[in-house]
Structure formats: C-alpha cells, structure tokens
C-alpha cells in the first residue's frame, strides 16, 4: 500500500471542489439506480459516484465520463481505470454522505480499498 496515495484518495473523497466526491453529491440524484441501504432498521437513500483512477490506485476525479473535468483527468495519464462507489446518505442528520456501502473497480486496487475503509471509519 502507498500511504500518500491513500491520503490523496481520502482528500478527493471529502473534497467539495470540482472533481471531488462531495462536489458530485450536489450533482447526483438519490435513490434510482443506486437504490437504498438498510442498517439497524433504518433505510438510507444511496448515490452512485463514478471515478477514474490511475494504475497506482490514485483517484484522479469523480464525475461522469462525459464531464470535461473527468475527461481532462483521464487524458493526463496513459492508462486509467474506472470505478464506482455506492454511498449511503443520512438525510435526517448532519453527516450527509456517511458510508460507502459498495464499490466496483475495473482493476482491484488495495489503495482504494484502504481509502474506503478509512473513509467509513471517519464517518462511523
């Protein structure tokens, strides 16, 4: 694992700037294809966040493949992969995005998996 990559991933996962996961939360709609997540008898709507990442497992940008910032991030690297996080939302509280409840990676990467683990621990 690469600690600097994991930290960079966490920074982008919590970023409200263009290309960050929190920024994307303002662009996406809840429910729909992302469905809901149940925990302790409570039902949470989910959002799906697409992202592009490099061969070292560093997330380059969150967005949709047609978004300009997403394309710019992908084109800066010779080889990139795509992934998706399924994130549960706590709409009744202040926490907002509170847990990544699923993910899909084109190529498995331990740096992303560890960043997910730490993100969920921060929001526990």
pLDDT tens-place string over residues 16-57? 898 899 888 877 655 567 889 998 898 888 989 999 999 999
User: How many domains does the structure of the chain reveal?
Assistant: 1
What is the C-alpha separation between 121 and 91, in angstroms, rounded?
A: 19
State the CB neighbour count (10 A cutoff) for residue 2. 14
The pLDDT, as a whole number, for residue 94 is 62
What is the C-alpha separation between 25 and 83, in angstroms, rounded?
A: 16
pLDDT surpassing 70 at residue 70:
no
What is the C-alpha separation between 121 and 82, in angstroms, rounded?
A: 24
What is the C-alpha separation between 39 and 52, in angstroms, rounded?
A: 29
What is the C-alpha separation between 14 and 22, in angstroms, rounded?
A: 6
Strand (E) or helix (H) holding 119: helix 110-122
The pLDDT, as a whole number, for residue 93 is 66
Return phi, psi of residue 116, to 5°. -60, -45
> What is the residue range of 51's domain?
3-122
What is the C-alpha separation between 77 and 115, in angstroms, rounded?
A: 21
pLDDT tier at 11 (50, 70, 90 boundaries)? very high
The pLDDT, as a whole number, for residue 103 is 95
Strand (E) or helix (H) holding 118: helix 110-122
Look up residue 96 and give its two tokens: 């907002």
């Amino acid at each position: 694992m690469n600690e600097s990559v994991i930290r960079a991933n966490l920074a982008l996962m919590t970023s409200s700037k263009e290309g960050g996961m929190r920024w994307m939360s303002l662009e996406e709609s809840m429910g729909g294809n992302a469905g809901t997540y149940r925990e302790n008898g409570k039902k949470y709507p989910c959002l799906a966040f697409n992202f592009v990442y490099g061969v070292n497992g560093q997330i380059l940008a969150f967005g949709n493949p047609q978004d300009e910032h997403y394309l710019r991030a992908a084109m800066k690297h010779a080889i990139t992969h795509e992934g998706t996080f399924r994130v549960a939302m706590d709409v009744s509280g202040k926490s907002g995005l509170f847990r990544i409840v699923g993910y899909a990676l084109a190529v498995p990467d331990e740096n992303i998996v560890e960043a997910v683990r730490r993100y969920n621990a921060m929001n526990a």
